[in-house]
């Protein structure tokens, strides 16, 4: 019997026609049957403020509990000013607190960055990986996924139209599936 893993997908852009949201939806379609991917919305989370840890906003509590129910996490992000968008960093911070109770702890992860720029969000991808080390999210190393010139990869409905990008995304999802199976407790037995 195939083990089914639930994966949270966090999209680092709030824009309605975000290339990253389009890519997240494409990855969901390309995902092998052993993974169930679900986009977890992060735009409504109040900004993290440690003063509120003793009486956290309901949205924080619900987000933390929701993330804890997933077996892994996939980040699909643009690059803002050579780094991670504030909304994504806020979600990471909210999920990591209070100290010692991180919702992220031990969950296998992967990062794909999508950008209209030629470098494909390289800076955001690597800044995000730095945070994952501290949060104990074992991040898949290969294949790396930087999707540049994003406007050339999707049609009007948001479908991937680039065969090479679709093939790379499918390869990425197969590798992530293997990574999740290796890192999750049943994979280590």
Q: Where do the domains of the chain lie, and which CATH numbers do they carry?
A: 5-188 (3.40.50.360)
Which residue matches tokens 């991808």?
A: 125
Which pTM value belongs to this model? 0.94
The residue ranges of DSSP E strands in 14-106, in sequence order, are: 35-39, 72-77
Neighbours of 32 (CB within 10 A): 14
* pLDDT tens per residue across span 101-140: 999 999 999 999 998 888 778 899 999 999 999 999 999 9
Which residues lie below 8 Å from residue 164, measured CB to CB, with a gap of 6+? none
CA dihedral 74, 112, 137, 25 (to 10 degrees): 0
Q: How far apart are CA 81 and CA 66, in angstroms?
A: 30
Structure tokens at 123: 């800076």
CB 27 within 8 A of CB 151: no
Average confidence (pLDDT) over 10-37: 95
- pLDDT at residue 23 greater than cutoff 90: yes
* pLDDT tens per residue across span 137-175: 999 999 999 998 999 989 989 899 989 999 999 999 999
Structure tokens at 109: 């992860």
Of 182, 189, 136, the closest CA to residue 5 belongs to 182
Residue-level pLDDT at 189? 41
């Amino acid at each position: 019997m195939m083990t089914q893993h639930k994966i949270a997908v966090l999209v680092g852009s709030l824009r309605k026609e975000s290339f990253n949201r389009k890519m997240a939806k494409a990855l969901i379609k390309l995902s092998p049957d052993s993974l169930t991917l679900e986009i977890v919305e992060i735009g409504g989370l109040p900004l993290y403020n440690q003063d509120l840890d003793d009486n956290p906003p309901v949205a924080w509590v619900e987000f933390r509990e929701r993330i804890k129910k997933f077996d892994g996490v996939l980040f699909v992000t643009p690059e803002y000013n050579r780094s991670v968008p504030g909304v994504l960093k806020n979600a990471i911070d909210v999920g990591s607190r209070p100290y010692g109770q991180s919702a992220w702890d031990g969950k296998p992860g992967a990062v794909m960055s999508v950008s209209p720029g030629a470098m494909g969000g390289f800076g955001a991808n690597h800044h995000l990986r730095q945070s994952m080390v501290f949060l104990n999210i074992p991040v898949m190393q290969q294949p790396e996924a930087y999707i540049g010139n994003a406007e050339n990869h999707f049609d009007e409905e948001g479908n991937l139209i680039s065969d090479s990008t679709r093939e790379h995304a499918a390869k990425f999802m197969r590798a992530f599936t293997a990574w999740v199976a290796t890192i999750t407790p049943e994979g280590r037995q």
